[in-house]
Structures are given as structure tokens and as C-alpha cells.
Structure 1
Amino acid sequence: MNYQYNEQFAAATRQFADTAARINQLALENAQKVFGLQMATLEENAEATFAFFGEAAEVRDFDGMKTLLPKGVQIARENVERSISAGQEVFGTTVKTNEAIAEIAKSQLEAATVKAQAQAEKVVASAAKATKRR
């Protein structure tokens, strides 16, 4: 009888460890995607900004400054658009990852429910047999 409980405990522990490993893998993959996306966006924004600063350093007169101003506004707008787009993509990726994790949790809960119901039915059946013997 003790052996049966040990086997059940070991099986449950293995299942929990496998599930935790899958969830951790999903979370790590999500973090890698998010970090990579944010770094790429930061790099693009920095390149555009420093290129603009390079052009601004070469301006020597007021007319050059007048032509540079609209370009600066355009670069700032594009930087904001890239940042917002990256934020939306990060949000979408994180939502998908959380949905996958929730699906894993749901399947584990359903499997545990099925096992518990089977065990309960087994106990009821053995109790019914014991009652009939009396």
C-alpha cells in the first residue's frame, strides 16, 4: 500500500516538474523575444537620432537650420511610432505566451480532475462491494 502512494507521489512530482519546465521555457522565450525587440527598436531609434545630430552639427547658417527642423520632427515622429509599434508587439507576444501558459494549467487541472474522479469512483465501488458482503 505504501509503495502505491510513493509511486503516485513520484508520478505527480514528475508531472509537476515537466509542467514547470514547459512554463519556464515559454516564459524565457517570451522574455528573449521582448528583449530582442526592444533592443532592435532602441538601436534603430539611436541610429536615426545620431544621424540627425551629425547633420545638425554640420549646419552653419540659419537657412540650414530651417531645413533641418522639419527633418528633426520627422525623425522624432518615426522614433515614437517605432516605440509604440514595438510596445504593441511586446504586448501581443506576452498575451500569447500567457494564453499558452493558461492552456497548460487548464490541461493539468483537467487531468487532475479526471484522476480524482476515477479514484473516487474506485473507492465508491469498493465500498459498495464491502457493503454487499455484509
Structure 2
Amino acid sequence: MFRGSYVTQIDEKFRLKVPADFKRHIDEEYGTQFFITSKDGKRAEIFPMKAWLEKEEKMKTVSDLNPAKKRYMEMTSYYGQVVEMDAAGRLLMPQKLREAASLTEEVVVIGMQTTLAVENHEKLKPTIVPMTAEELKALEELGL
């Protein structure tokens, strides 16, 4: 499971070096192939291929006429690209997504259980605010 966050850089060849703790988990649990995409163009979502294939299987159960599914598929296909991790643990960030999300400077890589989220660190910082009472109540109702 991916947990925590790490601040890092996208290199001059637009590659993200996966933080060591996440790389260890990848080596133990997943292969070297990933699907990198986004739902909004503001953050990259890195899915080990195993996790992406599980998501695709779930999507097959939803009607193609469902507008949310259609929109999700459009966005993730537009930004998405299959990427192979190199021997040094680097992933090439897809150009459209890199440009849309400003992933050319310092970034933060956030563990999201089975995926990694990557955001421009300076743009993310102002959005990290305490959870609202409503959010905390919703989590409590979910037993979390």
C-alpha cells in the first residue's frame, strides 16, 4: 500500500524518480508497467498496470451510456499513457498532462493506497487546509 508523501523534482528529460519507499512497494507488488493519467488535468495519477486493469474491469460493468463513465473515460484517455519504469526507477510523465498540471518543477508524490498522485508542490500547498466539520462527520459515518 502506498502511504505518505515525498517532495521531489521532475528531471530535465521530464522523468519522475519514484521515491524509494514507493519503489520498494512497486518492486514487491507490481511490475514495471504503469498507466499515468488524470481526471482533471491538475494532478497526475499513477496506476500500476495491475491496479488500472482492475479499474477497467469495474468500468466494464457500467453502461457505456452512463454520462459519468463516458466523461471519465474521455478524460483518462486524453491524458493517459502507458509508461514503462526504467532501471533507475523513473517514469516519463506524459506531455499533455505534464503541461496541463505544471509538472515541470518541484512536485509532491502522494501515496493513495493503490495509486500515486503527483502535483506541482507550489500549487498544492495552498490547498492543504484542515478538514471541515462536514468532512470529518462524513468520515465518522463511514467508520473511518
- Tell me, yes or no, whether TM beats 0.5: no
> Which structure dedicates a bigger proportion of its chain to strand?
2
* TM-score normalised to structure 1 length: 0.24
* TM-score normalised to structure 2 length: 0.23
